[in-house]
Amino acid sequence: MKADVNPKPVARSGPVVANGDVLLAVSNVSLSFGGVKAIRDVSLDIRKGEIRAIIGPNGAGKTSMLNVINGFYHPQQGTISFKGRERRAMRPYIAASQGIARTFQNVALFKGMSTLDNIMTGRTLKMRKGIIQQALYWGLSQREEIQHRRVVEEIIDFLEIQHIRKTPVGKLPYGLQKRVELGRALATEPELLLLDEPMAGMNLEEKQDMSRFILTVRDAFNTTIALIEHDIGVVMDLSDRVVVLDYGRKIADGTPAEVQANQAVIDAYLGIPH
């Protein structure tokens, strides 16, 4: 293991960057699939430079919320405003072009492609050369490829995955796949990074690595992060503010300490005696 791994990220007390500008605001969003109400009238905001956790029991609507934010689901009511631009429905690739990237709960990498190609895919939006130039390759298109390859190699170095550069991702173990997926999202240079259970199914060591990466991404790349996570310890240590969903409703919102003390949250997680 590398020496600079902090075995337990220091818990930061109080709202660290709670006074940042609002980057994304979700207002009164409701989403239903037929009779199933996945999200009911939820409002939340994500401020620039913070790590915002979304937690809740299974089926609370956390992933649906991320899907609404990056345009994959279109809510029936409410609006989303990102960087001051308001919208209700949009295509995911437009959300991507505005600076929203994400990873998935069950890894959604391009299995037939190498680690390098997967991360290079994240550079798609930054590549400008047309199809004819790419077919001719030598000259302009090659120069562009090399220029983006440099950026991708920096991400590979940062995530410590140099040794699997040319390995098809389908062959990689789960923990590394999660790391490659983070790399692919970082390659888009997002302003808002949505992480859907980045630590699901990982052992302690992998969780520590991932926590370190998440903190560095926020601090060094200045990326705002919204993450869903079930490991409450990780959530409490990493995040600046936490929002708690239950049955599609928002039941609490605040600093980790506030949320931890909230009676509704305790009831949602532990149940109420009848």
Partner 1 sequence: MLYREAGQFKTTYAADMAVFPIRQDRIALALLVAVAFIAVPFMAEAQVWPFRTDYMVRAILIPFLILSLAAVGVNILIGYCGQISLGSGAFMAIGAYSAYKFATGVHIPLAWLGTAISIPPLPGLISIPLGGLMAALVGILFGIPSLRIKGLYLAVATLAAQFFFDWVFIRVKWFVNYNSSGSVSAPDMYLGPIHINTPVERYLLCLSAVVIFATLAKNLVRGNIGRQWMAIRDMDIAAELMGIRPLYAKLSAFAVSSFIVGVAGALFAFMYLGAWEPLAFDINRSFQLLFMVIIGGLGSILGCFLGAAFILILPIMLDQIPHAVGIPVSVETVSHLVFIVTGGLICYLLIVEPRGFARLWGIAKEKLRLWPFPY
Using CB under 8 A, list all residues that contact partner 1. 70, 72, 91-93, 95-97, 101-102, 104, 108-113, 117, 120-125, 127, 129, 131, 134-137, 141-142, 144-146, 149-150, 153, 184, 188
CB of 198 to partner 1, least distance (A): 15
Q: How far is the CB of 91 from partner 1 (least distance, A)?
A: 7
The residue among 171, 200, 195 whose CA lies nearest residue 183 is 195
Q: Is 91 helix (H, G, I), strand (E, B) or coil?
A: coil
What are residue 12's phi and psi, to 5 degrees?
-100, 130
For tokens 């590394």, the residue is: 176
Pairing type for strands 241-246 and 249-254 reads antiparallel
Q: Which is nearer to partner 1, 117 or 237 (CB)?
A: 117
- 133 half-sphere exposure, CB direction, 13 A CA radius: 11
Nearer to partner 1, 77 or 121 (CB): 121
In whole angstroms, how close is the CB of 131 to partner 1 at the nearest point? 6
Could you tell me the two tokens for 10? 């220091």
Smallest gap from Cβ 195 to partner 1, in A, equals 13
Residues 6+ apart with CB under 8 A from 53: 226, 227, 228, 229, 235, 238, 239, 241, 242, 243, 256
- For residue 80, the surrounding DSSP H or E stretch is strand 77-82
The closest of 101, 72, 92, 106 to 178, measured between CA atoms, is 106
